[in-house]
Chains A and B, each alone.
Chain A
Amino acid sequence: MKPDTVAASVTESVSDPAMGREAGAVAAASAHWHLGRRDFLKTFATGLVVVAWGNPLWAQRESGSSHSREGHPDVPRQIDSWLHLGADGTITFFTGKAELGQNIRTSLTQIVLEELPAPNHSVRMVMADTDLTPWDGGTFGSRTTPQMGKQLRNVAATAREVLLDLAAEAWQVDRSTLEATNGEIRHAATHRKSSYYDLTKGRLLQRDVMDSPPVKQPSVWTIAGTSMPKVNGRAFVTGRHQYASDFVLPGMLHGKVLRPPAYEATLVSFNAADVEKQNGVSVIHEDDFVGVVAPTVHDAEKALALLHAEWKTRAQISEGALFSHLRETSDYRSEEKEHRTDGSSLRRTYHVAYIAHVPLEPRAAVAQWNEGRLTVWTGTQRPFGVRAELAKAFAIPESQVRVIVPDTGSAYGGKHTGEAALEAARLARAAGKPVKLVWTREEEFTWAYFRPAAVIDVSASITPDGSLDVWDFHNLNSGNAGIRAPYRAARSNAEFHPSESPLRQGSYRALAATANHFARESHIDDLARLAKMDPLSFRLKNLNDPRAVAVLKAAADEFRWQEQKASPEVGYGLAVGTEKGSFVATCAEIALQRSTREFRVVRVVQAFECGAIVNPAHLMNQNEGAILQGLGGALFETVHFENGRILNPRLSSYRVPRFADVPEIKIVLLNRPDLSSVGAGETPIVTIAPAIGNAIFSATGVRIASMPLGQRVPPASG
Chain B
Amino acid sequence: MIEKIEDRELKRRGRRQLLMLAPVAVLGAFALPKLSDHLVAAGVRFSDWASGSLFRSEHLAPTFSNSEVVPFSNFPYNGYDVTDPGVDLENWTLTVEGDVQHPGEYKLSQIQALLKINQNTRHVCVEGWDVIGAFGGTPISEFLMLVGANTSARFLEVECADDYYESIDMPSALHPQSLLCYEMYGQPLDRGHGAPLRLQMPTKLGYKQAKYLETIRVTNVLRAGKTGYWEDQGYSWFGGL
Do A and B assemble together? no
Interface positions of A (Cβ within 8 A of B): none
